[in-house]
């Protein structure tokens, strides 16, 4: 009954406006969701099929094609809209424990030669700075608040990681005291 993040993303896009598969693909790439949601091109029709089988979306007539094969436009059913709201609410409320790969790497720190580790941390610092700049640049001040909050979240997480990394690179071996 629960929706995966990918399913919720797709369903949400359809709640926003009825669309056909190809259009979803376009929207996903246009909004830069490809990187985040990890919904591949092939998955779209697959997920659409699952959502339809569950009765959360339904074919809302076929659109007059610009050119080429007829396209199937999908729209959420009333059930689908409810499910979307419930799943979104659930996603907001639940804190998912994360153990990102970087921590797995750090847990194996003892096997990494020290100078390689230092270099790896430097590479991370660079990537982090670049990412922060990128997110800042992408964050339009005129975006609606519910979009801004997403950027704020990402930025907050990235900056926290940056502070942590700076402290850690500064004194890689010395234990530090609590705040």
Partner DNA sequence: ACCTCGTATTCTAGCGCTAGAATAGGCCTG
Partner DNA sequence: CAGGCCTATTCTAGCGCTAGAATACGAGGT
**26 vs 89, which CB is nearer to a copy of itself?**
89
Contact by Cβ (8 Å): 49, 55: no
For residue 137, state whether it binds a copy of itself (rule: CB under 8 A). Answer: no
Q: Shortest Cβ distance from residue 49 to DNA (Å)?
A: 7
For residue 93, state whether it binds a copy of itself (rule: CB under 8 A). Answer: yes
Q: Shortest Cβ distance from residue 60 to a copy of itself (Å)?
A: 18
For residue 46, state whether it binds DNA (rule: CB under 7 A). Answer: yes
For residue 112, state whether it binds DNA (rule: CB under 7 A). Answer: no
Q: Site for DNA (CB under 7 A): which residue of 8, 14, 39, 83?
A: 39
**Interaction partner, residue 55 (a copy of itself, DNA, none; CB < 5-8 Å by kind):** none
Binding residues for DNA (CB under 7 A): 4, 6, 20-23, 38-43, 45-47, 50, 65-72
């Amino acid at each position: 009954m629960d929706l995966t993040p990918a399913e919720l993303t797709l369903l949400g896009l359809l709640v926003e406006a009825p669309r056909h598969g190809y259009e979803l693909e376009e929207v996903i790439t246009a909004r830069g969701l490809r990187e985040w949601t990890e919904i591949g091109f092939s998955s779209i029709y697959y997920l659409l099929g699952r959502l339809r089988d569950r009765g959360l979306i339904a074919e809302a007539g076929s659109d007059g094609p610009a050119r080429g094969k007829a396209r199937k436009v999908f729209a959420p059913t009333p059930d689908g809209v409810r499910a979307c709201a419930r799943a979104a609410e659930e996603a907001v409320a639940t804190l998912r424990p994360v153990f990102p790969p970087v921590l797995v790497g750090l847990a194996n720190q003892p096997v990494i030669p020290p100078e390689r580790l230092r270099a790896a941390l430097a590479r991370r610092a660079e990537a982090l700075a670049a990412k922060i700049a990128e997110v800042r640049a992408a964050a339009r001040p005129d975006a609606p608040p519910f979009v801004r909050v997403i950027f704020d979240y990402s930025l907050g997480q990235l900056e926290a990681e940056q502070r942590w990394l700076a402290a850690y690179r500064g004194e890689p071996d010395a234990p530090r005291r609590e705040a």
